[in-house]
Amino acid sequence: MVSTQSPRFQPFAGRTMETAAATTKLIFDFSEGSRDMRDLLGGKGANLAEMTRVLGANRVPAGFTVTTDACVGYMQGNGEFPAGLPEELNEALSRLEGRATKRLGDPEDPLLLSVRSGARESMPGMLDTVLNLGLNDRSVEGLARATRNERLAWDSYRRLVQMFGNVCAGVPSEALEQAIADRKRAAGVELDTELSVGELKALVDDFKALFHQTSGQAFPQDPEGQLREAIRAVFDSWMGERAVQYRRIRRIPDDWGTAVNVQQMVFGNRGKDSGTGVAFSRDELTGSPQPSGDFLINAQGEDIVSGARTPSDLSEMKRVLPAAHAELLEILRTLEGHFGDMQDIEFTVEESRLYLLQTRNAKRPAQAAVRFAVDGVAEGLFDRERALMTIEAGALDALLHPMLDPDAEYEPLARGVNASPGAARGQIVFTAGDAVLAAEAGRDVILVRPTTEADDVAGFFAARGILTSEGGKASHAALVARGMGRPCVVGASALDVRLDAREVNVDGTVLHEGDLITIDGSTGIVTADDVSLVEPEVDESFRRVLQWADERRHLGVRANADTPADARKAREFGAAGIGLCRTEHMFMAPQRQPRMRAMIMAGTERERRDALDGLLPLQERDFEGLFSEMSGLPVTIRLFDPPLHEFLPSAEEVARDLERARGERRDDAEELERVLERVHELTEANPMLGTRGVRLGILHPEIYEMQARAIIRAATAVRDRTGEAPLLEIMIPLVAYERELELMRELVERVAGEEATGLEFHVGTMIELPRACVLADRIAVVADFFSFGTNDLTQTTLGFSRDDVEGKFIPAYIERGIIDRAPFETIDAPGVGSLVRIAASAGRRAKPDLTLGICGEQGGDPESIAFFHQVGLDYVSCSPYRVPIARVAAAQAAITSPAHQ
Ligand code: PEP
Ligand code: MG
């Protein structure tokens, strides 16, 4: 046989690992394996073996699994079967023939085989399969006689030549489909099932001709040769392009390899007492206890998968094959109980006899997952820990936000980065101001911009959702939207947002202000179609799961919240305090902008202090609101962080205004000149590495003084009013040198002394620069707590601009296997994570009671949460809407890795 596969084995070339083949068993009969052998037998093989043990050999057609080790050996051997495999294959085949009491290629009553892939983790549709293997020109006649079903025999043979041709010889699917279409047209029929035996025979000839045309060889008549080629093709498909791409996305390592399952075929297309289907042990959408699924009478499994025929509901099976249906329900219960998880099975009924072909844990939406976890405990299926482990924490997001109606049909207009989950629909507006006006007029709007900036925040409140054409998951729009729970899609680069023309051009489609647009921040989809949304329900089951999670976790969960509304939401979702209040957001309300600008424009310290005096009562009120919501809980207030120029208009904008003012000889021209000059002064080439954070506090201490005073006064007021103050933590951003923190600590203590209210508070720092990490022991001496700012720490460790990279090179990096996760989303454990580890242990060494938290975006990511648990942090802080996810993820981390330092 001519292999059409190019040599694809470079990833393994040069590895000297002694091929496991020479010494290790490379094939296991189903009766020899178990579910614990997933790594070696793949998910499907391990579960087939387990099912054989649990249900008995009569329920699972006999077979064997060629191990993943054999596949790895094959790849290392550049496409040669590893030593020992051919012999083991012969022996396994003999055993199988013995059990099936049929022989492969028997011209009278042949054994037919299915050959299917089965990786450690399921990769649906990515790897190859060959069915009906073992037929040839002679045995097809034998099968017809033995089954007294000529149609079945020839339909099986044409399926074999078609699949084998496609998978093993690379005959293009289009050519094969075309041949079927031509035959159907000539016969004047619409369905494959209407083709006569004569037409099926003709189709076999068509396929053989295509086979010859593609490979230069005749279709192989030797069944054992067919088997070897089919196994080879499944191995090869592991390194096929679509499988490689799929693995990049799902982060599955290339060197796992796939197992191959060889199993006796059973026939669901053997007449009216036969059929095939897929079933879930519970309703796969809601998790309610009734099994659900699809069933097709007189058909083979691939008819369901390929969509060639429309299946009926499982209830139809109860009507036509009641006994098999009853057995199926019984088996679903048994399997669910045995595997301790909701099952998703494939089955076939051959002449009223039910066979199980596959079982696996069912993928299910969050609602079904939560319901199953709670019901499972109530039914004694498992304990609470196991129940928590059956839930995919990240998917819980869907329970907290509106979603696109899953039944709606729509055409995506563009796709961007899914920056903040939930769906939103509304009319397009292009400025924050317009969003505010529209909201006041009661309209639902989506704020559409190339990027957003600090002074767009009022628009975020007003809009239902935010859509930008630039930026990534750590961009301003994404952070603010996530914090507020607003759905947001960023970096939708197909959008050309023309602010001046107030229109968006997407590949020739032009949308104007006021046009309807819908975004899905969970998937990144943007559509101009009118799609309805469905509201999520947070039900009793979810509450119960969260309570179990709280009982089990070590990590505390706080929220990043800047407003009383955020704080309320955070508390509602179970946050144990605020881990980050970004105070700069408080200056963004439009009515505060003039004061803020006056402060920035101030030429002297006196002028600046005057402007700050105006801001002080406003800040005080903000903090009072926040503290009232969080009485008794820790609240970490971070002092001003961003570069000042973020609060000024852009130089181009001012220059344009200035020109107009001069042209019109307006009085404000002089003032605009001053603004322009100041904007130029403040402009920096790399503002994220510029005059921001503690550096502002050092240069302009009066800003931090004002903030510290507002915080102390507000907390005192709440204490005096309610008898309970928040546990105050004042946090200094972007510290690199211990002296910076020391100076700021002195400043805060001085202000507190001046206020003389006796209020207790802590002073600590963000740890978000590599220098701070490696010298954390020095910084710890002057800090009461550390909070890891992993957004900036990722940015400064990797030298990746947090606002740009996701839309630029991260996707290419993931695709090419340079990285397997977006580092602003999931902590880069070996790199950035090492710095966190170093800083945590150095900090604790210097000060054993140092509180350690993390408030970067990764604080809400389940995988990162597992890492922070292992490092032994005290808490994670994330956006209010991720708090429930973090609670469950923290519990899962504690269950899987109990010993945190
Ligand atoms: C961080 O850098 O991780 C952080 C939380 O602060 P910000 O995102 O505001 O810079
Ligand atoms: Mg930061």
Atom 9 (ligand 1) nearest CA: 582
The pLDDT score that the predictor gives to residue 400 is 82
Those residues with Cβ within 8 angstroms of residue 313's Cβ, 6 or more apart along the chain or in another chain: 292, 293, 294, 295
480 lines ligand 1 (CB under 6 A): no
The pLDDT score that the predictor gives to residue 538 is 65
Q: How confident is the model at residue 374 (pLDDT cuts 50, 70, 90)?
A: very high
856 lines ligand 1 (CB under 6 A): yes
The pLDDT score that the predictor gives to residue 70 is 97
Is the model's pLDDT at 100 over the cut of 60?
yes
The pLDDT score that the predictor gives to residue 20 is 43
**Atom of ligand 1 minimally distant from the CA of 474:** 8
Task: Give the tens place of pLDDT for each residue, 294-339.
Answer: 899 988 877 766 555 677 889 889 999 999 999 999 999 999 999 9
Question: What contacts 24+ positions apart, CB below 8 Å, involve 664-673?
Answer: none
800, 855, 879, best to mutate for ligand 1 pocket (most atoms within 8 Å of CB): 855
789 lines ligand 1 (CB under 6 A): yes
Determine whether 604 is exposed, middle or buried from the number of CB atoms within 10 Å of its CB (0-12, 13-18, 19+): exposed
Ligand 1 mean position, distance from CA 11 (Å): 38
Ligand 2 mean position, distance from CA 581 (Å): 12
The pLDDT score that the predictor gives to residue 536 is 67
Ligand 2 mean position, distance from CA 72 (Å): 44
855 lines ligand 1 (CB under 6 A): yes
Q: Whole-angstrom Cα distance, residue 520 to residue 784? A: 41
Q: How confident is the model at residue 759 (pLDDT cuts 50, 70, 90)?
A: very high
The listed range with the strongest mean pLDDT (378-382, 449-453, 815-819) is 378-382
Is the model's pLDDT at 612 over the cut of 70?
yes
Longest distance between any two alpha carbons in the chain, whole Å: 104
Task: Give the tens place of pLDDT for each residue, 107-126.
Answer: 999 999 999 999 998 877 77
The pLDDT score that the predictor gives to residue 623 is 96
Ligand nearest to the CA of 480: 1
DSSP class per residue in 799-845: T--TTTHHHHTHHHHHHTTS-SS-TTTS--TTTHHHHHHHHHHHHHH
Those residues with Cβ within 8 angstroms of residue 234's Cβ, 6 or more apart along the chain or in another chain: 115, 116, 117, 127, 128, 129, 130, 258, 260
- Residue in 488, 581, 855, 878 annotated catalytic: 855
The pLDDT score that the predictor gives to residue 198 is 96
782, 750 in Cβ contact below 8 A? no
- pLDDT top residue among 147 and 870: 870
72 lines ligand 1 (CB under 6 A): no
Is the model's pLDDT at 16 over the cut of 60?
no
The pLDDT score that the predictor gives to residue 723 is 93
Atom 1 (ligand 1) nearest CA: 789
580 lines ligand 1 (CB under 6 A): yes
Ligand 1 mean position, distance from CA 821 (Å): 19
Ligand nearest to the CA of 854: 1
117, 240 in Cβ contact below 8 A? no
The pLDDT score that the predictor gives to residue 4 is 37
790 lines ligand 1 (CB under 6 A): yes
Q: What percent of the chain has pLDDT over 70?
A: 95
**Atom of ligand 1 minimally distant from the CA of 790:** 3
Mean of the per-residue pLDDT values for the chain?
Answer: 90
Atom 6 (ligand 1) nearest CA: 789
Task: Report which DSSP code applies to 592.
Answer: G
**Atom of ligand 1 minimally distant from the CA of 788:** 3
**Atom of ligand 1 minimally distant from the CA of 789:** 3
Is the model's pLDDT at 900 over the cut of 90?
no
Atom 4 (ligand 1) nearest CA: 789
For the segment 39-63, the average pLDDT, to the nearest whole number, is 95
**Atom of ligand 1 minimally distant from the CA of 856:** 3
Task: Give the tens place of pLDDT for each residue, 616-666.
Answer: 999 999 999 999 999 899 999 999 999 988 888 888 988 999 999 999 998
Is the model's pLDDT at 392 over the cut of 50?
yes
Ligand 1 mean position, distance from CA 856 (Å): 5
For the segment 228-235, the average pLDDT, to the nearest whole number, is 96
- Residue in 325, 401, 476, 645 annotated catalytic: 476
The pLDDT score that the predictor gives to residue 304 is 67
The pLDDT score that the predictor gives to residue 309 is 65
Residue 585 annotated among the catalytic residues of the structure: no
Ligand 2 mean position, distance from CA 689 (Å): 11
For the segment 443-450, the average pLDDT, to the nearest whole number, is 94
The pLDDT score that the predictor gives to residue 35 is 94
Residue 855 annotated among the catalytic residues of the structure: yes
Ligand 2 mean position, distance from CA 857 (Å): 10
Ligand 1 mean position, distance from CA 759 (Å): 27
Q: Distance of CA 166 to CAs 1, 134, 159, 515, Å?
A: 13, 16, 11, 47
Ligand nearest to the CA of 581: 1
Atom 3 (ligand 1) nearest CA: 789
**Atom of ligand 1 minimally distant from the CA of 795:** 2
The pLDDT score that the predictor gives to residue 639 is 97
Ligand nearest to the CA of 793: 1
The pLDDT score that the predictor gives to residue 462 is 87
Is the model's pLDDT at 9 over the cut of 80?
no
Those residues with Cβ within 8 angstroms of residue 791's Cβ, 6 or more apart along the chain or in another chain: 474, 479, 768, 802, 824, 856, 857
Determine whether 188 is exposed, middle or buried from the number of CB atoms within 10 Å of its CB (0-12, 13-18, 19+): exposed
Task: Give the tens place of pLDDT for each residue, 405-425.
Answer: 888 889 999 999 888 888 999
Say which range, 10-14, 276-280, 534-538, has the weakest mean pLDDT.
Answer: 10-14
Is the model's pLDDT at 17 over the cut of 50?
no
Is the model's pLDDT at 898 over the cut of 80?
no
540, 373 in Cβ contact below 8 A? no
